[in-house]
Structure 1
Amino acid sequence: MLTHSLKLRKPLAVIDLETTGVNITKDRIVELCIAKAKVDGTVEVKTKLINPGVPIPPETSMIHGIYDEDVKDAPSFKQIGKSLAQFLEGCDLAGFNSNRFDVPMLVEEFLRIDVDFDTKNRKLIDAQRIFHLMEPRTLSAAYRLYCHRELDGAHSAEVDTLATLEVLCAQVEKYEGVKLKNDKGEEYEPVKNDMDVLHQLTSANIVDFAQRMTRNAKGEIVFNFGKHSGKAVKFVLKQEPQYYDWMINGDFPLDTKRKLTEIKLKMMLEK
């Protein structure tokens, strides 16, 4: 039997969702798991595939491994919503990045089927916030972790520059040869003492530095904001040519406008 060591006054439901995408408004849940930590120290786990009622984008399936075929006979959220709300009744809610994604997505699904799922009287605990607080993502924290010294004079340009070089050297030394597994269970070595490899690891998806555009799993350049988020830039410019003019005349960085113009010129040459 699963157990926990948390001191609870009421059950704590730890939630993780797999979805058709990351848009709270438009996307849908395809799988949910809830680990309900009870006051007596026991844990009850429920895992459920859900038919989202819309196709799962292939690039999303490649991330979580759930395809349309897997959920075709699964119940819809509407079919399980009431029993799920009953299971979560009286529970506080937790997760990893749950306040920004899992809980809002779950609440949205409940609202669509007119199930009253109020979070006002529930405690919300996000383990990612604790992680980022206790393990700050700063140069000083990285220097302490990798170089085992305190960074004196942080925020001086020279001190920060030399510290960054030292951190990078220490990262390569620490992680070269360390293998991880990808979403298919295949082992790979992400960090090597090779700038081509490190670029691929840290910057391969960058199109413009404001990240208004990015690359999807197929390597296509797609918009990363607004009404066309996730759509191929070439497709949008072809279907809605005025969108280019709107961006060029809008309050976007010059680098973004330059990259967008390069894409448009390339399209013209391909005709």
Structure 2
Amino acid sequence: MLPIKLTRPLVSIDLETTGVDVENDRILQIALITLHPDGKRDSKCRLIDPGVPIPKEATAVHGIRTEDIVGKLAFSLVARSLQKLLSGCDITGYNVAGFDVPMLSAEFKRCGITWPEEGTKIVDSMAVFRVQEPQKLAQALKFYTGRDIGDDAHDAEVDASAALDVLLGQAQRYIGDERTKLSDMLVLAKDPDWLDSTGKVKRVNGVACINFGKWLGKPLAQVDRGYFDWVAKQDFPEDFKAICKDAGDGIYPEQD
């Protein structure tokens, strides 16, 4: 019996890329480990031709060389099949919210595809671990499962499988023996000081502050009104937009 009660498939994603710049770098390898509600796992992993040479700094991390992707398909040629595979699924992974989802979303956007689709739950096992037991993926796997990741860390399929096992171990450790819902894991992954789902607004000493970008650390009351107008026109989560709309009208979250 799974320690998490799934109502639809949960896909653990791991990417290897040419770098960490979401807008300018490209995906080289994508691994998808799908956990079905009945406990069955499916694994898919493929190399992608990024259309650019692979920097030696990136190869030093994941071992994928430019010659390794010769003859592989470009992302644009597999985008529709990937979209179909991910449709109707929730997402997990280690640092998936901070890196893999934004990177994959940017690749899809360049192909005219909006992803993640509305209603997708994204549970980042690194976020849970960072809040509950700060460490890295190899330590997380050892901590929650007792297993070593071995010499294949930074192979996308190995990392995706490890990240999924970390999430299942977290469910057992922090929720207990009862059937855990995926939404329960979202609570574990959230910093208690976040005021929105992605942590773009955070309480600092009881005051609501912007938690990223140009206005990082600034109380909402001190942020230029034009910023809130700009946010309204961008592709930000709706709860963040709502906070900014209120702030533009002089309404701020209550202080602790």
Q: TM-score, structure 2 length as denominator?
A: 0.52
Offset, 1:4: 5.4
1:35 aligns with 2:4: no
Identity among equivalent pairs (%): 39
Query: 59, 62, 65: which is aligned to 1:64?
Result: 62
Q: Give runs of ≥4 in structure 1 deviating > 4 Å.
A: 180-184
Matched, 1:115 2:113: yes
Which residue of the other structure, out of 75, 90, 93, is the alignment partner of 2:91? 93
The 1:11/1:70 distance shift into structure 2, 3 A limit, reads same
CA contact (8 A) 1:4 1:43 kept: no
Q: How many Å apart are 1:98 and its aligned residue?
A: 0.7
For residues 126-172 of structure 1, give each alpha carbon's deviation from its aligned partner in whole angstroms, at most 9, with x where no partner exists.
Answer: 000111111147xxxxxxxxxxxxxxxxxxxxxxxxxxxxxxxxxxx
Q: 1 CA distance for matches of 2:152 and 2:121? A: 34
**Offset at 1:5?**
4.5
Give 1:20's aligned residue.
Answer: 18
Q: In the aligned structure 2, how far is the partner of 1:20 from the partner of 1:7? A: 36
8 A contact 2:87–2:117 mirrored in 1: no
Q: State whether structure 2 residue 128 is matched by structure 1 residue 130.
A: yes
| CA RMSD after TM alignment | 2.3
Deviations 1:214-263 (A, max 9, x none): xxxxxxxxxxxxxxxxxxxxxxxxxxxxxxxxxxxxxxxxxxxxxxxxxx
> 1:6: how far off?
3.0
Displacement of 1:62 in angstroms is 1.2
Report which of the two structures shows the higher radius of gyration computed on alpha carbons: 1
**Contact 1:32/1:47 (<8 A) preserved:** yes
- Tell which has more relative contact order, 1 or 2 (C-alpha 8 A, sep 6+): 2
- The code of the aligned residue for 1:122 comes to T
Provide, for residues 104-141 of structure 1, a one-character-per-residue CA deviation record: whole Å limited to 9, x for no partner. 0000000001123234310000000111111147xxxx
TM-score (structure 1 length as normaliser): 0.49
Q: How big is each residue's C-alpha offset from its partner over 1:145-200, in whole Å with a ceiling of 9 and x where there is no partner?
A: xxxxxxxxxxxxxxxxxxxxxxxxxxxxxxxxxxx86979xxxxxxxxxxxxxxxx
Q: Summarize deviations over 1:31-65 as a string: whole Å, max 9, x none.
A: 00000111111011100100000111011111101
Classify the secondary structure of the residue corresponding to 1:18. strand
Q: Residue type matched to 2:97 in 1?
A: N
| Whole-Å separation in 1 of the counterparts to 2:131 and 2:153 | 28
CA distance in structure 2 between the aligned counterparts of 1:4 and 1:35, rounded to whole angstroms? 15
Instruction: Give the whole-Å Cα distance in 2 for the aligned partners of 1:6 and 1:182.
Output: 27
Displacement of 1:72: 1.1
Q: Is the alpha carbon distance of 1:74 and 1:130 closer, same or farther for their aligned partners in structure 2, counting shifts above 3 Å?
A: same
